[in-house]
Amino acid sequence: MNQVGHLSLRRVGHDVTIWPMAKIISPEVIEIADSVIIDDFVLLSGGQETIIGSFVHIASFASISGGGIFSIEDFAGISSGCRIFSGNDDYLGDCLTGPTVPFPFRVPIRSEVRIRKHAIIGANTVILPGVEIGEGAAIGANSLITKSCDPWTVYVGSPAKPIKRRLREKILQLENELRLALYDVDGRYIPKADRVSERKTDPNSDS
């Protein structure tokens, strides 16, 4: 059962599916655009603010936590088992650590993570606070991201390092074609239920 209707999200668009075994914390600070899927067994903690763009998939067993700001833009995806932290404890010894310790003995550091359009985050990747994944960047599985990643670049490793460029022209062309097909003349997304011609021709359609 889709749990979108039972969550008090700050804003939610059309064709959004949040599967019932996903755990959503602080939905009142979470905004979700159109055509988004959040799988079972995802942990999504809203933190200070969470903004999810359109055509985003967050796969099973991924977690987004840390109490800071998180955003992921259109056409980006987070694969299974990823761990994304928008904040952390101070580990240098100026205070105690761990969520059981109250202020002022523990002073957590709140930061942000931003994932730009068309970025791909490979399975079991760990992203630390204060990082921006550039537009179209692709992160290989099991990578550790400690620094921001350049646009349209492939990164792998722990810590991750750039290994080659990713082609952008075809991806951006397909995005433009999709927008022409799925958005009206005013730039508004057309929900699946209103796309009569698509229901007749799409082999994956339920109708």
Q: How far is CA 164 from CA 66, 134, 138, 149, 153, in A?
A: 31, 14, 10, 12, 6
Q: Residue 15: name the closest of 45, 38, 47 by CA.
A: 38
Q: What is the pLDDT of residues 19-66, one digit of tens each?
A: 999 999 999 999 999 999 999 999 999 999 999 999 999 999 999 999
The CATH number of the domain covering residues in 4-166: 2.160.10.10
Residue found under tokens 């994944």 = 133
- What's the rounded Cα separation, in Å, for the pair 1 and 88? 33
pLDDT score of 72 more than 90? yes
Among 68-82, 84-98, 182-196, the range with the most confident prediction by mean pLDDT is: 68-82
Give the confidence band of 199 by pLDDT, cuts at 50, 70, 90. Answer: very low
Look at residue 98 and tell me whether its pLDDT is greater than 50.
yes
Q: Where are the alpha helices (DSSP H) in the chain?
A: 169-182, 196-201
Per-residue pLDDT tens digits for 111-134: 999 999 999 999 999 999 999 999
Q: How far is CA 45 from the centre of its chain?
A: 12
Sorted by sequence, the CB contacts under 8 Å of residue 54 that are 6+ apart come out as: 13, 33, 34, 35, 36, 74, 75, 189
pLDDT at 187 over 90: yes
- Burial class, 33, CB count within 10 angstroms (exposed 0-12 / middle 13-18 / buried 19+): buried
User: Is the distance from CB of 68 to CB of 48 less than 8 angstroms?
Assistant: yes
Report the distance separating Cα 36 and Cα 12, nearest Å: 10
pTM: 0.91
Mean pLDDT computed over 102-112: 93
Contacts of 127 (CB under 8 A, 6+ apart): 82, 83, 84, 85, 113, 121, 133, 145
Show me where the domains of the chain are located. 4-166
Residue 202 has pLDDT above 80, yes or no: no
